[in-house]
Structure 1
Amino acid sequence: MDVIEWSDFEKVELRVGTVVEAARNEKARKPAYVLKVDLGELGVKTSSAQVTDHYTAEELTGRRVLCVCNFEPKRVAGVKSEVLVTGAHDEQGRVVLAGFDHPVPNGTRLL
């Protein structure tokens, strides 16, 4: 594992957001959703997320997520993905979203 400096970590803009809309991305080769995430003062941003194994679109709506907000936007299956919604793979390789046990305001930066 590479060791990084605190200043390296500070460069990553990790913020809390709430999914306000989720819909299946029909153009994606691998099953994915197009998410609209409310990031408070940063506004509502779009993300393409391959999280269909554990979550329905209805379950995602209203869910708090942790996003990387300072990647360059990327076009994914016809969608301009502006933020990366974070998670980890379970034992079967399915994505489990990072989340929070208690309410946190949209746009709050991870410490």
Structure 2
Amino acid sequence: MSEIEWADFEKVELRVGTIVQAEPNEKARKPAYVLKVDLGEELGTKTSSAQITEHYEPEDLIGRQVLCVCNFAPKRIAGVKSEVLVTGAQDEGNSVVLAGFDHPVPNGTRLF
């Protein structure tokens, strides 16, 4: 893996948001949820399609804070305009575990 400069890291806009709505994406080929994420006053609420159905039920996601990449171009995924990427890591079974926080932080806070 090659090293990057601080300026490279600064190009990725990682911000904290709170999931305010989660429902199954019925059009997705692989099980996924359509998420509405509140990213604070500056960015507002954004939509994301996420394949996180192995560990999470929609009702358990409401109110959960997540880390989002906010400066990708919007992308159509199974009929959904996905505006942000909700981040996570794969566990040993290749299921996604969401990145999160131990303590609440304001929506829209930028990771540094």
TM-score (norm. length: structure 1): 0.99
Residue 33 of structure 2 is aligned to residue 19 of structure 1: no
Query: Paired residue for 1:57?
Result: 58
Q: CA deviation at 1:2?
A: 1.4
Alignment of 1:27-106 (within 5 A): 27-40=27-40, 41-106=42-107
Gaps of 5+ in 2: none
Q: Provide the C-alpha distance between the structure 1 equivalents of 2:71 and 2:11, rounded to a whole number of angstroms.
A: 8
Q: Secondary structure at the match of 2:4?
A: coil
Moved over 4 A (4+): none
Query: In percent, how many aligned pairs have the same letter?
Result: 80
Name the aligned partner's letter for residue 16 of structure 2: V
Name the aligned partner's letter for residue 70 of structure 2: C
Gaps of 5+ in 1: none
How many residues of Structure 1 are paired with residues of Structure 2 in the alignment? 111
Which string of whole-angstrom CA distances, capped at 9 and with x for unpartnered residues, describes residues 62-88 of structure 1?
100000000000000000000000000
The RMSD of aligned alpha carbons is 0.4
